[in-house]
Amino acid sequence: MSSNLKAQREVSGSASSYNWLARQFHWFIAVLIFIAFALGWTMEGLELSKSKLNFYAWHKWLGLLILVLVLLRLCWRFLTKVPEHSSSNVPSIFHYGAQLGHFLLYAVLILLPLVGWLRSSSAGFQIVILEVFPVPDLLSKDEALSKQLAEVHELLALFLALLVVGHVAAVVIHHLFFKDPVLQKMKPNLLHKALIACALSGGLGFYVSYLDFSASEKTKISSEIKNTEELTKEVVTEENGSEGNWQVDEKVSLLEFTAKQKGAKTTGVFKKYKLRQLDFNPEALDKSVVEIEIDVTSISLSNLLVEQTLASSAWFDASEFPKATFQSKEFKSLGSDVYEVSGNLQIKDITHPTVLKLIIQLEDRDKSIPAVIEAKGETSISRLAYKIGQGEWASTDDLADEVQLKVHIRALKKR
Do you know the residue count of the chain? Answer: 415
**Positions of the chain with pLDDT lower than 50, given as ranges:** 1-15, 214-217, 219-221, 224-225, 228-238
pLDDT at site 39: 83
8 A C-beta contact, residue 85 and residue 102: no
Any idea which architecture 3-213 has in CATH? Up-down Bundle (1.20)
How far is it, in rounded angstroms, from Cα 373 to Cα 368?
A: 12
How far is it, in rounded angstroms, from Cα 190 to Cα 192?
A: 5
Backbone angles phi, psi at 267, to 5 degrees: -115, 135
CB-based burial label for 253 (10 Å; 0-12, 13-18, 19+): middle
How far is it, in rounded angstroms, from Cα 39 to Cα 145?
A: 24
pLDDT at site 27: 85
Backbone angles phi, psi at 204, to 5 degrees: -65, -40
In 3D, which of 298, 302, 322, 306 has the Cα closest to residue 221? Answer: 306
CB-based burial label for 181 (10 Å; 0-12, 13-18, 19+): middle
> What is the number of other CB atoms lying within 10 angstroms of the CB of residue 311?
24
8 A C-beta contact, residue 328 and residue 409: no
8 A C-beta contact, residue 350 and residue 335: no
CATH class of 238-413: mainly beta
Let me know if the fold of 3-213 is the same as that of 238-413: no
- Per DSSP, the three-state class of 413 is strand
**89-126 pLDDT, tens digit each:** 666 676 777 788 889 999 999 999 999 999 988 887 88
In 3D, which of 281, 303, 308 has the Cα closest to residue 370? Answer: 281
- Per DSSP, the three-state class of 388 is coil
Q: CA triplet 105, 110, 112: central angle to 5 degrees?
A: 90
**Could you tell me the residue ranges of all domains in the chain?**
3-213, 238-413
How far is it, in rounded angstroms, from Cα 333 to Cα 337?
A: 8
8 A C-beta contact, residue 350 and residue 381: no
Contacts of 187 (CB under 8 A, 6+ apart): 17, 23
How far is it, in rounded angstroms, from Cα 256 to Cα 378?
A: 9
8 A C-beta contact, residue 328 and residue 358: no
C-alpha dist (Å) from residue 315 to 69, 221, 304, 309: 40, 12, 15, 8
pLDDT at site 85: 58
pLDDT at site 60: 92
Contacts of 228 (CB under 8 A, 6+ apart): 297, 308, 311, 312, 318, 319
